[in-house]
Amino acid sequence: MTGKTADVVIVGAGPSALTASLYLSRDGFRVVVLEKAAVGGQISTTEKIANFPGFPGGIGGRELAENLRAQVEGFGADIELAEVTEIKPLADGFTVVTDDGEVTAQAVLVATGSKPRLMDIPGEKEFMGRGVSTCATCDGAFYKGKKVAVVGGANSAVQETLQLATMAEHIDLVVRNELTANQTLLDGLDELVQSGKVTLHQGATPVEVTGDTNVTGLKIQRQGHDAPETLDVDGVFVFIGRVPSTDFMHGLEIDESGFIITDDGFMTSTPGVFASGDVRSGSAKQAVIASGEGAEAALNIRKLLKRY
């Protein structure tokens, strides 16, 4: 890939990135998409997406990702598997440095999305992949007939709890403060609590993941209690929010959580560098909205490059 040139480099390959590359490549721009993991981003690990327009019966995340990929490549965009390590400004454009070479371009769109936020407690990193997971779709089947804990109280945590309930024997749902999921998800959760399938632990904070070769328990500290207690579980699924994937970015204006700040045209504080989707401050963290932001960012990149 060394020495490759493009009009636009798009970093990431989720819905926002792929939609932007669709718009730009269809308009005749030379587009290189750089993705370090799987094309589709977060949606590729989502079992079913029911709120993406055009699919009344829902669509599997991996299928949607492959459809987007085929559409983008059909218009000539070049998708490369490579990890971006730096973006260097030039007199007229940028050099995007990766672990597999460099690409020069006139404009860059950062659409790297976000990654799971971790609890940062003893045992979490040690047992990652050996009982600690951040993806029920990926790992839920390993816990068929077993006991698991889910940590979190927003939409993703409750949604993954509902999914895990089809496989696991029992689920302990650990919520630091209050449940904030939407009412439809809460109704489904209430049915599981009433049936005894799920035990809800509100006002409880995880303090340690325990185990030997694999996870055997999760220690939690309840509000108002002196000593922690241990939940006997075979796995711990963590869904406590996400952090932006911006390790390679330097010098851009970010908000207090690390998400990239842009203007109304999705331009960052560095002229010629745009951001869209889940990595952007203020984004609603929904696939369809990320796609819309990618489309609008592409239109503004087109204006920047003087093609209307």
Active-site option among 139, 172, 234, 278: 139
Would 180 be classed as within a structural domain?
yes
Phi-psi label, residue 110: left if phi above 0, alpha if psi -120 to 50, beta otherwise? beta
pLDDT at position 2 over 70: no
Identify the H or E element spanning 217: strand 215-222
Q: Are residues 292 and 223 in the same domain?
A: no
From 7, 27, 92, 138, active-site residue: 138
For 168-199, the pLDDT digits (tens) are 999 999 999 999 999 999 999 999 999 999 99
Indicate whether 250 and 215 sit together in one domain: no
pLDDT of residue 120: 95
- The residues, ordered by sequence, that sit 6+ positions from 287 with a Cβ below 8 Å of its Cβ are 14, 15, 43, 49, 52, 64
Q: Which of 7, 99, 100, 135 is catalytic?
A: 135
Catalytic (active site) residue 255: no
pTM score of the predicted model: 0.79
pLDDT per residue as tens digits for the range 43-56: 887 777 888 999 99
Number of domains present in the structure of the chain: 2
User: What is the distance in angstroms between the CA of the first residue and the CA of the last residue of the chain?
Assistant: 30
Q: CATH number, domain at 60?
A: 3.50.50.60
How big is the CA angle at 206 (ends 284 and 112), to the nearest 5 degrees?
30
Rounded Cα gap, residues 23 and 39, in angstroms: 17
Dihedrals phi, psi of 149, to nearest 5 degrees = -115, 145
Phi/psi for 296 (5° steps) reads -70, -40
Q: Is 139 a catalytic residue?
A: yes
Q: Is 135 a catalytic residue?
A: yes
- Both 296 and 224 in a single domain? no
